[in-house]
Amino acid sequence: MDTLATPQLIDRFGRKVDYLRISITDRCDFRCVYCMAEEMTFLSRAQVLTLEEIYTIAEAFAELGVKKIRITGGEPLVRKGAIELLEKIGKISTLKELVLTTNGSKLTQMSQSLKQANVKRLNISLDTLDADKFKAITRTGDLAQVLAGIDAAKAEKFERIKINAVILKNRNHAEVCDLVQFAIDKEIDISFIEEMPLGVVAGHNRAEAYYSSALIKADLEQRFALLASITKTGGPSEYFNVIGTQTRVGFISPHSANFCGTCNRVRLTVEGRLLLCLGNEHSVDLKQVIRANPGDMAYLKQVIINSMQIKPEKHEFNLNEQPVILRYMNATGG
Ligand code: SAM
Ligand code: SF4
């Protein structure tokens, strides 16, 4: 094959897009306070992409040079047929990495199938090690089930497992050292995430709950020695090695360290919207494109190439104002 002729996805700012995140459902068995409202209305079956449509779009992106696909949600593992979809995407030969973000609730049953489906790395969300706090943050989750899920995933020896923890002041900020110690004990990595203002949530004020990556890092340095790492995983995390351990600590800092300059990713929502930026509404309706032009891969790819022209330069989040972005994280694909 003439690799020079392979089209690439390049935006107006010269950024190459080679990473696609796909939300395969907006549904979830948890209701995390920063992600969803307590009462949510979910999309109907007719509104969401079928698994075949998701696969076709993944294939188109792979043909356009995308090397990494992350499957997310909502909770991806609650969608019927998720494993079969992962298996199919995992067989796309040009893809270097198929990875998954999950809340961990189904990992005791599904880790082995995920491994067999060629999933290389897992991000598992875990904000606290206190069962009552876990219930309060997730509203419906069971900490013991997630901890057992992490152990089940470890037993499958994925290339890498990383904990994702969203830190909120006065809710779980005092636990950052214990979470790192947990990651060290399990020989896995951990990333801390600053909360993003997506959708209107009740129960906490996002400006008051803001706890910056710099504060977390200062807290960690009271107990651990951190050394800046040159590792890049293709995502927005900035990494540090915890000296004397296998563990890396990452910081995803949408507020305090804008990562847009090196953005290499776009998102597909389960409604088929191609979101060009997490913090803006610029999007292209790929569901409409594939339903109006079934089987026309060349046209789908051209629409995707053209969409790069509307990828915004950066996101602007303001915690002191009502969210400008009304879609919730579960509908966005974190
Ligand atoms: N259900 C899966 C999970 O929780 O890992 C995957 C989807 S979830 C939307 C993906 C990630 O987004 C999780 O790590 C979650 O903690 C994070 N997240 C959700 N809402 C967020 C928000 N408002 N700000 C920052 N991160 C958020
Ligand atoms: Fe569900 Fe993940 Fe959102 Fe929590 S963060 S409600 S687990 S989608």
Q: How far is the CA of 150 from the centre of ligand 2 (A)?
A: 16
| CATH at residue 109 | 3.20.20.70
Report the pLDDT value the prediction gives residue 230, as an integer from 0 to 100.
82
Tell me, using a 6 A CB cutoff, whether residue 24 lines ligand 2. Answer: no
CA of 267 to the centre of ligand 1 (A): 14
Count: domains in the chain:
1
Specify the pLDDT at position 1.
43
The answer to whether residue 34 is domain-embedded is yes
Q: What is the pLDDT of residue 256?
A: 67
For residue 265, being part of any structural domain is answered with: yes
Measured from the CA of 29, which atom of ligand 2 is nearest?
Answer: 1
Range of the domain at 28: 3-315
Question: Which pLDDT score, from 0 to 100, does residue 39 have?
Answer: 86
Q: What is the pLDDT of residue 261?
A: 80
Q: Which amino acid is at 113?
A: S
Give tens-digit pLDDT for 233-244.
666 778 999 999
| Ligand 2 geometric centre to CA of 30 (Å) | 6
In this prediction, residue 169 carries a pLDDT of 93
Pocket of ligand 1 (CB under 6 A): 28, 34-35, 72-73, 75, 101-103, 125, 164, 166, 193, 195-196, 198, 329-330, 334
| In a domain? residue 325 | no
Q: Indicate whether 234 belongs to any domain.
A: yes
| Residue 97 lies inside a defined structural domain of this protein | yes
Residue 324 in any domain: the answer is no
Residue 330 covered by a domain: no
Which ligand does the CA of 31 lie closest to? 2
| Cα of 200 from ligand 1 centre, angstroms | 15
Q: What is the pLDDT of residue 84?
A: 98
The series of mean pLDDT values per 10 residues for the chain, 334 residues long, is 66 94 97 89 94 98 97 97 98 96 98 97 98 96 98 97 96 97 98 84 79 95 95 76 97 76 91 88 92 97 95 71 60 63
Give the mutation target among 24, 35, 105 for probing the ligand 1 site: most ligand atoms within 8 A of CB: 35
Q: Which ligand does the CA of 126 lie closest to?
A: 1
Q: Is residue 247 part of a domain?
A: yes
